[in-house]
Amino acid sequence: MMPINNIKNESVDNDSTVLRGHRVNFFDDVEVHYMSEFLEWEMFKENPKRKDVHVEKIQGYSNRTYDTNIWDEQIHDCLYTTKNYGDSENLIIVIAEENWLQEERFFVPASVLSHRKNSDILVIKEEIKNNTKPLMHNLILGLNTEYNSFEKLCKLLRENYVKETYSNIVLIAGGEVLPAGLAIAQEFSELIDNVLLYDGITNYSWLDSSHIQMCHNMSIKSEYMFKKTGKYDKSKDLIKTTDDAFLMLKCGYFLRHKINRRITSPIKFIKDHPTQNVEYYFWKDTIHIEWLRKAIYHKSIPNIPMTNIKKDNPPAYFFNNSLPIKLHKILDK
Amino acid sequence: MKLQIRDKIVNLDDELEVNFATEYFFWDEYNRIKNSATNISGKKDLANYYNALQDKYTNGGLEHSRKFIEKPDDFFEWISEDKCFGKSKNFGSKENLIIYICSHAGIENRMNLPILSMPNRIKDLNDRFDVLTINEHPLRFPESQYPSYLVLGCSDTHNTFEKMCNYISTLINKKYKKVVVFGDSKHAAISLSIAHALDDIVTNVFIAHGQTSYDWEESGWIQSYIKYITKRNKIYENTGYLDDKMLNDISGPHIFHILKCYKFKKLNIKNEILSPFKYHKNYKNIDVAYFYNKNDLEYKPFIDWLLKNATGSITFNDIDYDNKVNQHFIKPYLERKIIPDYINKVILNDAN
């Protein structure tokens, strides 16, 4: 096997990588976004049923609605609060993923909504328009074109929404917005005591993930060998799924933008917030959970409570069983 | 129908997939421009293109480009709200009219060039002609819609060929001695279709070589490409050899032509609009002057088809011009050498 450093005249630095046979330079925004469009196409081919998702992205707006009897829209397509926000002594912050499978604009579990009587609820999501052409930032680069950085988002929350008057604040995040959710919780660690995380991406940091670096090196080498021999060895390609390719693209993009590791990889900094209770529920065996296990094993992060849900429908079990019990314990004591 | 284009197999029946494919081939075009930007002017063009794309991707959508595209012009004034039609100042004061169909905004220029761009040599004819310009708006939605070669109208308001032509008729309120339609390249065929639709007023058409048909069964580019793909597959089945030359060499405009023409086929657009040269015998009062360059090998299938299928009063002129950089780019030569004579000897002599 040829050592990677023997490859001359080709970059093996982190300024570019090869995804699906195309070299993409992270310093060329246009190239990054064309690549993300291309990966979207691949995703569409993998799952043609989600056509409406892609149509919405191309259009740049969503026709989806939200229940105006429950929610007040504070910032269009980004921030939603329950009616009479500020009256309760508890606050539940839901970091919402785009909810493509339902008619609503965002998804808030029924077990959270059932606490409306004694809690305010704040929903934070990234504006769809922000995600149209650019790569999905998953809140790492803010909410929308106005609040376009994590810092601006936190400033907005501190000034208007997350106040010291609350006696209990719980934050719920999962999926692709898990890192951003945890980073927000850590930013407000003096106020947010409980963080409930569910199955998702554990970090967006290029430098913290050996898997990403291995994928990167192998793909560079594959490209080199292809140019040299005209043959492409598929077994050497470690980027198996489009999701993985997207993850690499995002990590490279955030690295090039020099996003702080406290935002892209907040799990690494749990130890800096000892008073905050973080729990993690997962059900898929992915590279993300593998990274987390390794990090705990090597003691680079503290041993956080992790629950592997092994049920027929784990998401439903989490939202309908685990989450209500946890919320009841925290909020109804 | 699934068709292999470059390294992708595209399902042409799926609008969304065509949209993704368009973006993907835009990327190829961007890389081509990036790699060929070696001189100062090339680098300047690349910088403009890059900035426009970056804005697009940062802000989402193309709205920010509106300020470049809809820039006011000293020569023209807007007529329509969609900003697709412009008329020269003092419009209506001359005896002759030029209808100019703009083809300047290619893929790379559509986001940063003003919609009202016109060669100075045409503007200089302002002392003898009223000038009306028609442009397709680059911010049409979805993005893959542009350019529709005016077959699907010019904007979301005038979104069919018929609506667009009816609107042009309403703009022309007086009896002109001569009305000349100028068109070129991607608008070669549609210029004649517009002339046919306005046959009660148009007297002459001046066309610089380009796409002479948008019909799936008749377009030179499409038929030659399908022939190549079929042959390639047969050779591969028999010998295991893959001839990828045309797959690699196919140009951006050629690809977009294929994607658009399939859409026209699906929409059942009338053949009279898509292949007007076949029907020109029905319009005896319109003279067509067609200029082409026999060295332009890329567009050769179009002229070959045209020479076999054209009917009616069309004069074909081979200008035998050798542009080493781009053999298709004959417009500057025509503006310099041909148009002045054409205007003075053919149009104005007849008019007097």
Residue pLDDT, tens place only, B112-148: 788 887 888 888 888 889 999 999 988 887 878 888 9
HSE-up (13 A, CA, CB side) for residue A51: 8
Q: What is the pLDDT of residues B14-40, one digit of tens each?
A: 989 999 999 899 888 888 888 888 888
A34 and B19: CB-CB below 8 Å?
A: no
pLDDT of B66: 85
pLDDT of B277: 97
A121's tokens: 């609820």
Q: What is the pLDDT of residues A85-122, one digit of tens each?
A: 999 999 999 999 876 556 788 889 999 999 998 999 99
pLDDT of A3: 46
For the segment A137-151, the average pLDDT, to the nearest whole number, is 89
From the list A44, A59, A73, the residue with the least C-alpha distance to A128 is: A59
**Chain B residues whose beta carbon lies within 8 Å of the beta carbon of residue A31:** 27, 30
Spatial distance between the Cα atoms of A154 and A191, rounded to a whole number of angstroms: 13
A23 and chain B: CB distance < 8 Å anywhere?
A: no
Spatial distance between the Cα atoms of A84 and A82, rounded to a whole number of angstroms: 6
pLDDT score of B281 more than 80 = yes
**Chain B residues whose beta carbon lies within 8 Å of the beta carbon of residue A34:** 23-24, 26-27, 30
**Chain B residues whose beta carbon lies within 8 Å of the beta carbon of residue A133:** 56-57, 60-61
A134 and B58: CB-CB below 8 Å?
A: yes
**Chain A residues whose beta carbon lies within 8 Å of the beta carbon of residue B59:** 145
Q: What is the pLDDT of residues B288-302, one digit of tens each?
A: 999 999 889 999 999
Spatial distance between the Cα atoms of A141 and A121, rounded to a whole number of angstroms: 23
Q: What is the pLDDT of residues B79-107, one digit of tens each?
A: 888 889 999 988 999 999 999 998 766 66
For residue B27, CA distances in Å to A18, A167, A172 come to 15, 52, 38
Query: How many degrees, rounded to 5, is the angle at CA B252 between CA B248 and CA B256?
Result: 120
For residue B352, CA distances in Å to B98, B204, B338, B345, B349 come to 17, 15, 20, 10, 5
Q: Are strands A119-124 and A90-95 parallel, antiparallel or unpaired?
A: parallel
pLDDT of A2: 43
If contacts are CB pairs under 8 Å, which of residues 136-175 in chain A contact chain B?
145
Q: What is the pLDDT of residues A197-233, one digit of tens each?
A: 999 999 999 988 888 988 998 888 888 888 888 888 7
First to last CA, chain B: 54
A44 and B58: CB-CB below 8 Å?
A: no
Please confirm whether the linkage preceding B147 is cis (ω < 30° from 0): yes
Could you give phi then psi for residue B345, rounded to 5 degrees? -85, -40
For the segment B178-206, the average pLDDT, to the nearest whole number, is 95
Q: What is the pLDDT of residues A171-206, one digit of tens each?
A: 999 999 999 999 999 999 999 999 999 999 999 999
Spatial distance between the Cα atoms of A138 and B142, rounded to a whole number of angstroms: 25
Spatial distance between the Cα atoms of B240 and B237, rounded to a whole number of angstroms: 6
A30 and B54: CB-CB below 8 Å?
A: yes
Of B19, B27, B57, the CB nearest to A133: B57
First to last CA, chain A: 61
pLDDT of A9: 46
B24 and A44: CB-CB below 8 Å?
A: no
In A159-246, the DSSP E strands lie at 168-175, 194-200
**Chain A residues whose beta carbon lies within 8 Å of the beta carbon of residue B53:** 29-30, 33
pLDDT of B85: 92
Task: Write the CB contacts of A197 (distance below 8 Å, at least 6 apart in sequence).
Answer: A172, A173, A174, A178, A181, A182, A278, A279, A280, A281
pLDDT score of B253 more than 50 = yes
pLDDT band at A10 (very low <50, low <70, confident <90, very high): very low
pLDDT of A130: 55
Query: How many degrees, rounded to 5, is the angle at CA B116 between CA B69 and CA B83?
Result: 65
pLDDT of B52: 82
Burial of A234 (0-12, 13-18, 19+ CB in 10 A): exposed
**Chain A residues whose beta carbon lies within 8 Å of the beta carbon of residue B56:** 133
A271: Cα separation from own chain's centroid = 20
Task: Name the pTM for this structure.
Answer: 0.87
Higher pLDDT, B347 or B253: B253
A46 and chain B: CB distance < 8 Å anywhere?
A: no
If contacts are CB pairs under 8 Å, which of residues 68-127 in chain A contact chain B?
none
For residues B259, B260, B266, B269, the Cα torsion angle rounded to the nearest 10 degrees is -160
Q: ipTM value of the model?
A: 0.84
A216's tokens: 């990167």
pLDDT of A168: 93
Residue B60 three-state SS: coil
Mutate to test the interface with A, among B30, B53, B145 (most CBs of A within 10 A): B53
B60 and A134: CB-CB below 8 Å?
A: yes
Of A30, A38, A58, the CB nearest to B50: A30
Spatial distance between the Cα atoms of A210 and B92, rounded to a whole number of angstroms: 72
Of A34, A130, A145, the CB nearest to B27: A34
For the segment A47-59, the average pLDDT, to the nearest whole number, is 78
Highest mean pLDDT among A91-105, A109-123, B41-55, B324-338: A109-123
**Chain B residues whose beta carbon lies within 8 Å of the beta carbon of residue A129:** 60-61
For residue A83, CA distances in Å to A5, A68, A103, A123, B305 come to 60, 9, 21, 12, 69
Mutate to test the interface with A, among B16, B107, B145 (most CBs of A within 10 A): B16
pLDDT band at B217 (very low <50, low <70, confident <90, very high): very high
For the segment B69-77, the average pLDDT, to the nearest whole number, is 86
Q: Residues of B at the A interface (Cβ-Cβ below 8 Å)?
A: 7, 16-17, 19-21, 23-24, 26-27, 30, 50, 53-54, 56-61, 141-143
